[in-house]
Amino acid sequence: MSAPRREFDARHPLRVGLVGSGMMGFEHVRNLALQDEVLLVALADPHPPSRALGRRAAGRPVATYEDVGEMVEQERLDVVVVATPNHTHAAVLDALLDRPIHVLVEKPLCTTLEDCERIARAADTRDALLWVGLEYRYMPPVARLIELVRDGAVGRLRMLAIREHRFPFLPKVGDWNRFNRFTGGTLVEKCCHFFDLMNLIVGVPALRVYASGAQDVNHLEERYDGERPDILDNAYVLVDYEDGTRALLDLCMFAEGSRNEQEIAATGDLGKVECFVPESRVVVGRRADRAIEQTLVEVPEAILAAGFHHGATYYQQRAFLEAIRNPDAPRIDARAGLAATALGLAAQRSIECGAPVALAAPPTDVRAGP
């Protein structure tokens, strides 16, 4: 059943509900507090300590519930932010998509291709937004790199390299992020952000994925009910695109000593653009005269302090709210979420089978937003 779009009334704040008030939910609450046109009124989480964390983060009285269904039955909500464990996304979205509520669901959209496709079809029939939280598009230095590539700074893009060298997965409630069956796999849980950036920057369908990875260092001595974690902690992933462009992901999750956690390089026939996070530095190099220009992309301290993603959560929320006001504004829709998850799942499969994995053409315009 189609869910009609609620009209946005600028005279009244949007009433927001949060589902999942753990670490990422906490970040959303802190960033929502910086948005003038919203009011957090309710949160749902089955875990009492997480509900308490959400209440503290809100800094004001909010209604609390154990179940998303009860929350949406009892509260008049305009927006719901979903920040629950990955494997619960499909069930939470099933409780929301037949209602006239705008939804921002954290990445990944779901943990299986079947659930992603089903949710994407459901989203196609509704007027209210379903936005997938692939917020790295909105990280200011990354957004600047995307803009430069689109403006022709590198000429015809031929190669795109993304490196994330970072710390291991943090503890989560119920230790759900230690197991592939709950996360979708590291290359879905952690890296769908980067596959989304590849799709967005290259702008044509991906054809095949080659990947090599392993669990070599992290979590090897941990046991949960006698079971050892099975998540990857390092990988190389190569993606071939329809126009001949190649994209590479270099992931290492035992590299706490790195100067920058993320580095991105887009190289074409005229030059190269790079960005570095958290330095927030963008470098443009031209082949013709070998000139190099460097720029620092400033992010206000209050926005940096509101989360762990270099301002991306705040700026994504701004874009999400703009898309509620303006149906023609760019957005990250369910089809983009499906395409990013499909790449992550294909990369996981390539590692398992030791061979390239071919992709069907994604049913999406991967260039949608920002």
Q: Is the pLDDT of residue 365 over 80?
A: no
What local confidence, expressed as pLDDT, does residue 360 receive?
79
Question: Does residue 199 have a pLDDT over 50?
Answer: yes
pLDDT tens for each residue of 238-287: 999 999 999 999 999 999 999 999 999 999 999 999 999 999 999 999 99
> What does the pLDDT read at residue 47?
93
Judge whether residue 8 has pLDDT over 70: no
What mean pLDDT do residues 341-353 have?
98
Residue 9 has a pLDDT of 58
Domain residue ranges in the chain: 14-135, 136-300+334-358
Instruction: Specify the 3-state DSSP secondary structure of 327.
Output: coil
Instruction: Please report the pLDDT score of residue 363 as a whole number.
Output: 44
For residue 205, count CB atoms less than 10 angstroms from its CB and return exposed for 0-12, middle for 13-18, buried for 19 or more.
middle
Question: Under 8 Å CB-to-CB from 313, ≥6 apart: which residues?
Answer: 27, 28, 31, 135, 306, 307
Quote the tokens at residue 215: 């669990």
**Does the domain spanning 14-135 belong to CATH 3.30.1370.100?**
no
The reported pLDDT for the residue numbered 11 is 60
Q: Which residues pair with 240 in a beta bridge?
A: 208, 246
How much of the chain, in percent, has pLDDT values that exceed 90? 92
- What is the residue-wise DSSP string for 226-257? TB------EEEEEEEETTS-EEEEEEESS-TT
* pLDDT over 60 (residue 7): no
Find the mean pLDDT for residues 108-117.
98
Lowest mean pLDDT among 155-159, 301-305, 326-330: 326-330
What pLDDT is attached to residue 10?
A: 55
289: pLDDT strictly greater than 60: yes
pLDDT surpasses 90 at 168: yes
Enter the CATH code of domain 136-300+334-358. 3.30.360.10
pLDDT band at 12 (very low <50, low <70, confident <90, very high): confident
Domains 14-135 and 136-300+334-358 agree in fold: no
Give tens-digit pLDDT for 18-32: 999 999 999 999 999
Q: What is the mean pLDDT of residues 192-211?
A: 98
| Amino acid, single-letter form, for residue 162 | I
Mean pLDDT of 195-219: 98
Contacts for 168 with CB less than 8 Å, ≥ 6 apart: 218, 219, 233, 253, 254
Helix runs in the chain, H state only: 23-32, 48-58, 68-74, 89-94, 113-124, 140-150, 180-183, 186-189, 192-202, 301-304, 312-325, 334-353
Angle (CA) 120 108 369, round 5°? 65
> Which two three-digit tokens encode residue 297?
């992309």
Note the pLDDT of residue 370: 55
Mean pLDDT in residue range 80-84: 98
